[in-house]
Structures are given as C-alpha cells and as structure tokens.
Amino acid sequence: MLMQPYNAVLQRLESKGRLRSLKVPRGTDFSSNDYLALAGSEYLRNTACEALVRGVPVGSGGSRLLRGNHPEHEALEAEAAAFFKASQVLYFASGFDANQAVFATLPQAGDLVLYDALIHASIHAGMQAGKAKTQSVPHNDIAAYEAAIRQFRTTEKSGNIWLAVESLYSMDGDRAPLAELSALADRYGCFFYIDEAHATGVFGADGRGLAADFAGRDNVLILHTCGKALGASGALLCAAKPLIDVLVNRARGFIFSTAPSPLQAAIVRGSLKTLAAEPQRREKLQALIRHAEQNLQPSGSQIIPFTVGDNQRAVAMAEAMQNHGFDIRAIRPPTVPLGTARLRISITLNIDEAQISRMAEVLKQIANSYE
C-alpha cells in the first residue's frame, strides 16, 4: 500500500515514454557538457594533486558563514572577478543552487520576473520559492519582452523588473539576443540576469562567455557554471556587491548549506588559468563545430538538437546510437516542450572529426529506418 502511489507515478511516466533511469556512460562522448575536455585532463588532475599536497581539504566542514569559508573560496572569487571583469563574485556548489538562490531571494514582492520560455529548470525552482510575480515570454521575442514591461509599468508604479535568459540555450543550442535585451533593460531600468552555463569557456575573449561585454554593470547579473566547459563543479555568480551581500545574508540555500569543497575551488582556479593560457582548446572546438555543421543541421554552437518529436521514438533512436558506440541521449518533456523530444548531440574535445562524420552517417541511417 505504501508504494502504490509511487508505482502509479512510474507507470504513468512509462506509458508516456518519459520514464528515466541512470546509465553509466558507454561509447564515444556525444552527450556530455565537457566541451573543452578538461574534466579528465592531466592538467586538472595535477592541479588537484598539488592542492592536496599543499593542504587544501576535500571538505569544508561547515557553511561559509561558520567555519566553512576557506581561503580557496575567497581566492577563487577574487580571481574570477578579475577574469570575468565583475564587481563581485560568489561561489556556489552548483548552477542549480545559484539560480535557485538568486530567484528565491533577490526579486522582491511587487517585482516582476520576465523569463524566456526555454529558461533552465533551476530558475523556475527559484521563482516558485520567491515572492515576485513571474511571466513567461516567447523564446527570444524582444517585442514580447517590451510589451510585458510596458504593461507592468502601466499598472505598477513601483517594483523592479527582472529579465532572465540563457545566453546559449542548453537544449536548442541557439543564442539569446543579448545586445537587444541589454538595451531594453537599460531603457526601462530593469535588472538583466544572464545564465552563461553553456557559453562559459567556449565563447568570448579568453572564454569569458557571450555576455562578457555586459559584465560589471550594476543592473547585470551573470552566472558562469564550473561543471561544463570548466571541467569541475560549482558556479560563479557575478553581480554588484549589494546583491552579493544580500544573498550572503538572505539566501537560505547559501546560508544553510555546507560550503563547496575547497579542493573544487582550487581546481576551478586552475580551470580559469587554462582558459586564458590555452586558446587552442577553443579554436579546436570551433573547428569541430564547423565540421559537425557540414554533416548535421547547424545550430551555431556545440549543442546540436536532432528533433524526433515522439518520446518513444527518441528513446529507441538513442539506444540504437548507443548500440553503435555513440553515447547520445534522448531528451524528453518536461525538459523540452511537448512534441519536441530529441537527441541532444554535444560536440566536445573528447571526439574528433572522423568520429563526428561516422556518427552523422549512422544517425541518418537510423533516422531513415524510423520514417
């Protein structure tokens, strides 16, 4: 009896083709976010070993407001602020933690958060826990943003407006119109929040992301995650000092969580040094992206969606690709909109041109067999 409602949930998910399970990676990497192949690199292994030798602990032992605030955290935040040209940086354990903390804490009652329809689930989690009004905007629709801002200002004379986007969307691989949105934020006095999760390390001078030109402005907050191109874990929130200070004092997910591993902080410091010192990684990745675009529908980035539509068909095609030695996963609702189940193909430095060409050839054969 106790398990009945949970078994019913699993049965409903299975009937819709949305039941998920954990799988150990196998085959050539076409699914990870390890874009620069840093996660398993000798450089980061040596960085970790050197940090351990000089006494950096694996665990922090407490929250950062207690004894968990290690010099490695502060060194990382200072170096990240200089690297990303930010006023202030706060290190979180993950991008999810950071997004949840920001949107549960900073937008106030009477504020309005206008968010792109394809925004990360972590921002949804923060908005649900927060007090501000929220409104979805059609994907990359500047006119819809402006109309929503004007409508809010006609009815509400006070309250801040927050615009929330990803600079590079994680499931479609396309970019937000950052320049237009920044101009809109400046014109109407809005905060502008940019999640750079999939752009950090891959785009911009020294890998500083697509939003690098907007860094350091009082109304702009930029999130750089460390578990993707940087090859480690955690997230770096770049924002004005008063906003960072409010998070330190009010963000429950920050205050009541054990601080991130000081060892991870040391590793991220190494990752940032690599971005500046090894531009050839980004250059090689861009060459692989160009090669992939000759074989697949281009997205303009290292994330290439192959839309299937039907959930079960997407799962079957992904399993077929895995059986051919290509680690490609099916992405289904609610991660993506209904009717847009897809294979998400990720281009990283863990693969080469020959593997991309072979993968594209097999994918076309499998897709044709399901028509």
For residue 257, what are its two tokens?
A: 């969580």
Catalytic residue among 60, 73, 97, 120: 120
Domain with CATH 3.90.1150.10 in the chain: 27-39+279-369
Q: Catalytic annotation on 33?
A: yes
Among residues 86, 32, 69, 127, the alpha carbon closest in space to that of 351 is found at 32
Catalytic residue among 73, 198, 219, 346: 198
- Residue 117 — pLDDT band, cuts 50, 70, 90? very high
Among residues 140, 292, 301, the alpha carbon closest in space to that of 229 is found at 301
Q: Give the span between the Cα atoms of 293 and 299, in whole angstroms.
A: 8
Q: Catalytic annotation on 166?
A: yes
Q: Catalytic annotation on 120?
A: yes
Q: Catalytic annotation on 198?
A: yes
pLDDT value for 252: 96
- Residue 97 — pLDDT band, cuts 50, 70, 90? very high
Catalytic residue among 29, 172, 195, 196: 195
pLDDT value for 157: 78
List the Cα angle 294/297/301 in 5-degree steps. 85
Q: Give the span between the Cα atoms of 129 and 103, in whole angstroms.
A: 8
The CATH class for the domain spanning 57-276 reads alpha beta
* Cβ burial, residue 23 (10 Å; 0-12/13-18/19+): exposed
Domain with CATH 3.40.640.10 in the chain: 57-276
List the Cα angle 194/200/205 in 5-degree steps. 105
Catalytic residue among 70, 73, 224, 228: 228
Mean pLDDT of 313-338: 95
Under 8 Å between Cβ of 86 and 222: yes
- Residue 321 — pLDDT band, cuts 50, 70, 90? very high
pLDDT value for 248: 98
- 27-39+279-369 maps to CATH 3.90.550.10: no
Give, in order, the Cα–Cα distances in Å from 235 to each of 91, 95, 297.
6, 5, 31
pLDDT value for 78: 98
pLDDT value for 1: 79
Q: Catalytic annotation on 224?
A: no
15 Rama sector, left if φ>0, alpha if ψ -120 to 50, beta otherwise: alpha
In tens, the pLDDT along 247-297 reads 999 999 999 999 999 999 999 999 999 999 999 999 999 999 999 999 999
User: What is the Cα 170 distance to its own chain's centre?
Assistant: 7
